Structure 1
Amino acid sequence: MTTMLVAISGGHLAQLHLLAPRIAAGEEVVWMTDDTAQSRSLLEGQRVVHVPTRPPRDTIGVLRDTRIARRAIAEHDVDRVVSSGAQIALSALIPALVRRVPFSYVESATRVTGLSTTGRLIDRIPSVRRYVQYPNRTSDRWGYALSVFDGYRVETAANAAGGDGSEAAAAIRRAVVTVGGNGEYGFRRLLESAARALPDDAEVLWQTGSTDVSGLAIDARPAVPSAELSAALARADVVIGHAGTGTALAALAAGKVPVLAARSVGHGEHVDGHQDDLAAFLADRGLAIVRPADEITADDLFEASRRRVIRRDDLAPVSI
């Protein structure tokens, strides 16, 4: 049994990588994604088929990438395809339908209250097995089987004490600030806010994506390999990031409750407001401290540093 796992770099790939042991337990796996620092690091040593990195909603690109997917399905004798999106899912879907290969689509956990553009298109294909990642979002067309947020719980450090701004500053020695890997949209407001809130002497990894960082006194890096980022997250006293699924999951996997800010359509930081939904969900469950991008404070960082995240490692495989 060979399963092809299909996802674009960023939060989509991070989610599918986290879900893969439960989705394809004991099976041969081949990945289809774009060639980025994240995908190379995350999927090192695995079978990977690369497609070009394309801008969102690139219809022509989707059609061109169907040829890559068709060859991959044939050459690897793929028995089924599972995707978490985004538009790369459509590139794999077309040849899968032609070859009658079963196709399952897991909507992004970012989509708390509605479907993504890809999800809305997938919704029109009767033969696709469709899943959401929130039990309260099921319908006669969309089921629930698993979620990337399964099994997490938050604890407060036993020796933590309340504090004022000076204590907050003293508590933060290492930090990670990340705006994710979105190549189209910057998030300068978050970087500026984090720079104000962090102590001047803190050791900070700044992962800035396509953000214009001119004039900011930071050691900006547009992209950071997953292994390096994971190591930095594990060492960090606090994680500050945009409210993207990949960023949230990376922080949680490192045992950190992140300080998150949702990107704003009004400020030209994203195509829609779905990050607000994810941020609200995570805040409601205590899995993140959420603030407007302009209003992150040293006390927010101190509060986040007092919390630890633990995840069960005995989650059962699922059939989708």
Structure 2
Amino acid sequence: MTILPKYERHPRELWESVAAAVRLVRRDRPEIVVSTGAGSAALYCAVARAAGAQVVFAETMARVTGPSASGRVTARMAHANLVQWPEMATVYPRARVCRPLLLEDVGAPLADDVAGTLLIVGTHTAPFDRLVQITADAVRAGVLPAPIVAQVGPSTVAFPEAEVHEFLAPEVMSAAIAQAKVIVSHGGAGSLSAALRTGHRPIVLGRAKAHGEHFDDHQQQLMAKLAASDLVVALDDRLGAEHVASALRPLPRPESSTLPSLGDALAEVLDGLGLARL
């Protein structure tokens, strides 16, 4: 496995990532590249495309109504594009629309032995003090069940009532999600998907650009989309007992869809590009 250098849009990181991409393309000589286009991967796709590779771009399920920054670039160079929400067909007119990975396996019953509350703010580098403070206030008001485990990232909000972690290893986070009774989360697609797969209806506050919590408002858009389908409980500026009661209702049964799964659509695209002949 090769890990590309981290790219957070700094000029120095840009050139480091480009140089790493050139080295990898020269070494591996890829004929087909499949990517979500995020960060350094978008730069790798550009270098591979220039070297003759065919590129397949799958926009992240976190994008509901607008493109990601890297998607604006990667989709233009791609031989095929895949999106995961019908609204995105107008953003990428050439794209094939698939069922969102986020909705796969939704509806499993909540385990009988779950207990307590888990707060998840994700791995974004900006603090999410609003969500940490809202959750701490709800705990002090007796709204959220104990024990409390809080993954708070770089936040400095005081939360002595909780077992606080800056970050949790993926396997530890997965176990914590499965064991919690109530999940309070940012609007990250990965966190919400993990919660839904384990039978939770997470209580969600999406990060907002206006508060300096993210580059844009895609988490707000995803939160609204899932709230409209009764799959999450959307927050604004407080967390009350009514939010917890709503979160503990059984999830709705998944709606039937004629759209292909992302896996099936990707397999068809790769077959059309000649993967079987490589």
Question: How far off its partner does 1:240 sit?
Answer: 0.5
Equivalent residues of 2:149, 2:163 under 8 A apart: yes
Q: Are 1:259 and 2:203 counterparts?
A: yes
Question: How far off its partner does 1:99 sit?
Answer: 2.4
Could you tell me which runs of 5 or more consecutive residues in structure 1 were left unpaired when the two chains were aligned: 1-47, 160-170
Could you tell me which runs of 5 or more consecutive residues in structure 2 were left unpaired when the two chains were aligned: 270-278
More strand by share: 1
Q: Are 1:303 and 2:246 counterparts?
A: yes
Q: Deviations over 1:7-42 (max 9, x none)?
A: xxxxxxxxxxxxxxxxxxxxxxxxxxxxxxxxxxxx
Question: How far off its partner does 1:212 sit?
Answer: 2.1
Counterpart position of 2:276: none
Counterpart position of 1:193: 134
Counterpart position of 1:178: 120
Matches within 5 A, 1:120-135: 120-125=72-77, 127-135=78-86
Give the secondary-structure state (helix, strand or coil) at the position aligned to 1:266: helix
Q: Which residue, out of 229, 237, 246, partners 2:173?
A: 229
Equivalent residues of 1:175, 1:202 under 8 A apart: yes
- Name the CA distance, whole Å, in 2 between partners of 1:283 and 1:216: 28
Equivalent residues of 1:179, 1:208 under 8 A apart: yes
Q: Are 1:272 and 2:216 counterparts?
A: yes
Equivalent residues of 2:115, 2:179 under 8 A apart: no
Question: How far off its partner does 1:73 sit?
Answer: 4.1
Q: Deviations over 1:238-258 (max 9, x none)?
A: 110111112211212322111
Question: How far off its partner does 1:92 sit?
Answer: 1.2
Q: Which of structures 1 and 2 has the larger relative contact order (alpha carbons within 8 angstroms, sep 6+)? A: 1
Q: Deviations over 1:106-158 (max 9, x none)?
A: 11222211111111222432x4422221134214332224421344544788x
Equivalent residues of 2:108, 2:198 under 8 A apart: no
Equivalent residues of 2:209, 2:216 under 8 A apart: yes
**Structure 1 length as normaliser, TM-score?**
0.70
Question: How far off its partner does 1:76 sit?
Answer: 4.7
Q: Deviations over 1:80-105 (max 9, x none)?
A: 21111322222211221132121111
Counterpart position of 2:69: 117
Counterpart position of 1:10: none
Q: Are 1:61 and 2:3 counterparts?
A: no
Q: Deviations over 1:259-279 (max 9, x none)?
A: 100122222212222211101
- Name the CA distance, whole Å, in 1 between partners of 2:13 and 2:134: 36
- Name the CA distance, whole Å, in 2 between partners of 1:309 and 1:70: 48
Counterpart position of 2:147: 203
Give the secondary-structure state (helix, strand or coil) at the position aligned to 1:50: coil
- Name the CA distance, whole Å, in 2 between partners of 1:317 and 1:100: 25
More helix by share: 2
Moved over 6 A (4+): 309-312
Residues 290 and 49 from structure 1, CA distance in 2 versus in 1: closer, same or farther, beyond 3 angstroms? same
Q: Are 1:141 and 2:94 counterparts?
A: yes
Give the secondary-structure state (helix, strand or coil) at the position aligned to 1:194: helix
Give the secondary-structure state (helix, strand or coil) at the position aligned to 2:62: coil
Equivalent residues of 1:81, 1:103 under 8 A apart: yes
Counterpart position of 2:47: 95
Give the secondary-structure state (helix, strand or coil) at the position aligned to 1:49: coil
Question: How far off its partner does 1:284 sit?
Answer: 1.1
What one-letter code is carried by the residue in structure 2 that aligns with 1:268?
A: G
Question: How far off its partner does 1:174 sit?
Answer: 1.4
Residues 308 and 232 from structure 1, CA distance in 2 versus in 1: closer, same or farther, beyond 3 angstroms? farther
- Name the CA distance, whole Å, in 1 between partners of 2:2 and 2:85: 30
Residues 309 and 195 from structure 1, CA distance in 2 versus in 1: closer, same or farther, beyond 3 angstroms? farther
What one-letter code is carried by the residue in structure 2 that aligns with 1:49?
A: T
Residues 180 and 307 from structure 1, CA distance in 2 versus in 1: closer, same or farther, beyond 3 angstroms? same
Counterpart position of 1:245: 189
Counterpart position of 1:31: none
- Name the CA distance, whole Å, in 1 between partners of 2:11 and 2:43: 10
Equivalent residues of 2:184, 2:203 under 8 A apart: yes
